[in-house]
Amino acid sequence: MNEYQTSRVWFMRTCFIVLALVALFMHLLPLSTLPSAWAMPDLLVGFALAWSVRRPDYVPVFLLASMLLLSDLLLQRPPGLWALLILLCCENLKLRAHSLRAANFAVEWATVAALILGAMLGYRMILAVLLVERPSLGLHLIETTMTILSYPFIVFITHAFMGVRKTIPGDLDAPRGRL
Amino acid sequence: MANNLSNSQDYTGPLRRLLLVVVSLVLIAIFLVWRIDSPRVERFRAQVTDRIVPNFDWAMAPVTGTINLFRDYQSYQRIAEQNQELRRELRKMQSWKEAALQLEQENARLLDLNKVRLDPRLTFITGVVLADSGSPFRQSVLLNVGARDGLVDGWATMDGIGLVGRISGVAKNTSRVILLTDASSRIPAVIQPSGQRAIIAGDNSAAPPLDFIESPDLVRPGDRVVSSGDGGVFPAGLVIGQVAADPGGRLRVRLAADYERLKFLRVLRSYTTEPVTDAAHVLTPDLASNDTGVTTDE
């Protein structure tokens, strides 16, 4: 890792913070105060997972945890639990990043969908065990489905506009090495 | 280079795992503390919100405005119809206005005769809605008035017409209003003209159901629902809405406040409310009544 790589990594980390704040901003916009029958996808979760698959070094544990905890606090969820589950999902993806790098997108999507679904079920189970009021099942399912469905778009945006791509061999070499 | 990379991963591997474990434990600890001592963590949440959300305000207003403009544009397309409709309604309103004016004069005369003075403590502070709850599972809004303006947990909040919710969570510059539609909102109300008492129990739908009505036969759709002031939660007599029956036959309240667009909210000052200080706990029969029960048995 040379100077260029390091500054690029830190730049992308800052980008992730900005991205998380933008996602929160979208959620908090007071567009309608009527209870709605559908739910927006959880954008932060989508981006966190997509970045974890592509460039684990852009989303270190501490950054992920603090952003997820912030979203728990701002979006009126029980603080800590959802953040923990998604953090574990992200770390799981980072471990598999090597194998997922070679696989095609369908495999990645299926893995991510399974993780999100698992996180949602775990979340509801833990809340039920601790006798915390759970969000309504229908809405929660809609939100989970929306998140899973929006994942390809999130990946597209990540890939096309933010330049967060899977590393290919030689990518981590210094740029002058290619000259 | 590849060799070098795997080396560096081996080196950082255990360290990263340790960091992950520590961070996870911290998150679990935060969650458990919240479960055990909710008010304290909720206060912390209110402070975090207070620090962050007002910073979004400069961007939120124009973005919300633009999106609403586009939405309104869709309604411009049927402007001719709407115009006709409004004219018809206006004609109807004219007669009502006449009646209202006469009533107002009569009311003023009667008040004068009675030398009634309205409760001077029932004044209000108006705040602007900064943000909504951000989650489809929670119905609340964030106001730009807070402890700085003297707000206290539990005060009633209205829009121009009807009751909207109650203050729950006050930070320095902001405060959260739990709306009547939130699943955790329970407000005692009285149904006029029958005088039946009921609890408005929010369930995350636009029209919250009425619970605990003693004799539902006396309640008809269209009856007025006002706050009852029971339990010292709210001042009595605030308009909440009208009774309506859903297709299942369940009685619900059609809220008078315009929930579609909550922008400016009035927070009513009232100093009768009991402060909420302790965590939620199970209500048990108090020991004094238990003791008397024992003595009568003996």
H/E stretch holding B227 = strand B224-227
Q: Which among A3, A169, A167 has a CA at the least distance from the CA of A97?
A: A167
| B279 domain-assigned | no
| CB count in 10 Å sphere of residue B78 | 10
Asked whether the beta carbons of residue A169 and residue B67 sit closer than 8 angstroms, the reply is no
Residue B294 has pLDDT above 70, yes or no: no
Average pLDDT over residues A29-39: 80
pLDDT tens digits, one per residue of A137-173: 888 999 999 999 999 999 999 888 877 777 665 555 5
Residue B8 has pLDDT above 60, yes or no: no
Decide which of B60 and A120 is more confident: A120
Q: Kindly list the residues from chain B whose CB atom is less than 8 angstroms away from the CB atom of residue A83.
A: 27
A175 contacts chain B (CB < 8 A): no
The first and second tokens of residue A158, run together, are 């990540």
The verdict on B137 and B245 lying in the same domain is yes
Q: What pTM did the predictor assign?
A: 0.79
Task: Please tell me the distance in Å from B49's CA to the nearest CA on chain A.
Answer: 6
Q: What pLDDT does A1 receive? A: 52
Q: What pLDDT does A47 receive? A: 93
| B294 domain-assigned | no
A160 burial via Cβ count (<10 Å: 0-12, 13-18, 19+): exposed
Please list the alpha-helical segments (H only) found in chain B: 2-36, 38-76, 79-114, 287-297
Residue B276 has pLDDT above 50, yes or no: yes
Q: How does A6-43 read in b/e, with b if 16+ C-beta sit within 10 Å?
A: eeeeeebbeebeebbbebbbebbbbeebbbeeebbbbb
| B280 domain-assigned | no
Listed in sequence order, the residues at least 6 apart from B75 whose beta carbon sits closer than 8 Å to its beta carbon are B82
Task: Please tell me the distance in Å from A29's CA to the nearest CA on chain B.
Answer: 6
Residue carrying the six token digits 């945890």: A65
CA distance B220 to B222: 6
User: Beta B163-170 vs B156-158: how paired, if at all?
Assistant: antiparallel
Indicate the residue of A33, A61, A136 with minimum beta-carbon distance to B19.
Answer: A61
Q: In a 3-state reduction of DSSP, which class is residue A68?
A: helix
Q: Pick the residue from chain B with its C-alpha nearest to A76.
A: B133
CA distance A57 to A1: 12
| B244 domain-assigned | yes
Q: Pick the residue from chain A with its C-alpha nearest to B182.
A: A35
| B77 domain-assigned | no
Q: Which domain holds residue A50?
A: 3-27+36-170
What are the phi and psi torsion angles at B241 (to 5°)?
Answer: 170, -155
Q: Which domain holds residue B6?
A: 2-70
Helices vs strands, H then E, count in chain A: 7, 0
| CB count in 10 Å sphere of residue B165 | 26
| B226 domain-assigned | yes
Q: What pLDDT does A89 receive? A: 94
Check if the beta carbon of residue A163 is closer than 8 Å to that of residue A62: no
Cis ω on the peptide bond leading into residue A79 (within 30° of 0)? no
Task: Please tell me the distance in Å from B1's CA to the nearest CA on chain A.
Answer: 7
Comparing A91-95, B8-12, B94-98, B228-232, the range with the smallest average pLDDT is: B8-12
Average pLDDT over residues B219-245: 86
Q: Which among A24, A10, A33, A126 has a CA at the least distance from the CA of A75?
A: A24
Asked whether the beta carbons of residue A35 and residue B204 sit closer than 8 angstroms, the reply is yes
Q: Pick the residue from chain A with its C-alpha nearest to B29.
A: A80
Domain containing B229 — which CATH number? Answer: 2.40.10.340
pLDDT tens digits, one per residue of B135-163: 888 899 999 999 998 888 888 998 878 89
Most B CBs within 10 Å, among A2, A34, A126, to test the B interface: A34
Q: Which among A123, A128, A116 has a CA at the least distance from the CA of A90?
A: A116
The verdict on B103 and B159 lying in the same domain is no
Listed in sequence order, the residues at least 6 apart from A15 whose beta carbon sits closer than 8 Å to its beta carbon are A58, A162
A133 contacts chain B (CB < 8 A): yes
The verdict on B49 and B8 lying in the same domain is yes
pLDDT tens digits, one per residue of A2-20: 677 888 889 999 999 999 9
Q: What pLDDT does B6 receive? A: 44
CA distance A109 to B105: 70
The first and second tokens of residue B151, run together, are 């707000």
Q: What pLDDT does B5 receive? A: 45
Q: Pick the residue from chain B with its C-alpha nearest to A168.
A: B2
Average pLDDT over residues B118-128: 76
CA distance B217 to B251: 11
Based on its alpha-carbon atoms, the radius of gyration of chain A, rounded to whole angstroms, reads: 17
The verdict on B147 and B61 lying in the same domain is no
Q: What pLDDT does A4 receive? A: 78
Q: Pick the residue from chain A with its C-alpha nearest to B136.
A: A39
Q: What pLDDT does B104 receive? A: 85
- B36, B37, B38, B40 alpha-carbon torsion, rounded to 10°: -160
The verdict on B177 and B202 lying in the same domain is yes
| B237 domain-assigned | yes
The verdict on B35 and B142 lying in the same domain is no
Average pLDDT of every residue of chain A: 86
| A127 domain-assigned | yes
Residue B22 has pLDDT above 60, yes or no: yes
| Domains in chain A, number | 1
- B283, B289, B291, B295 alpha-carbon torsion, rounded to 10°: -150
Most A CBs within 10 Å, among B8, B21, B24, to test the A interface: B24
| Domains in chain B, number | 3
| B287 domain-assigned | no
pLDDT tens digits, one per residue of A77-92: 999 999 999 999 999 9
The verdict on B34 and B102 lying in the same domain is no
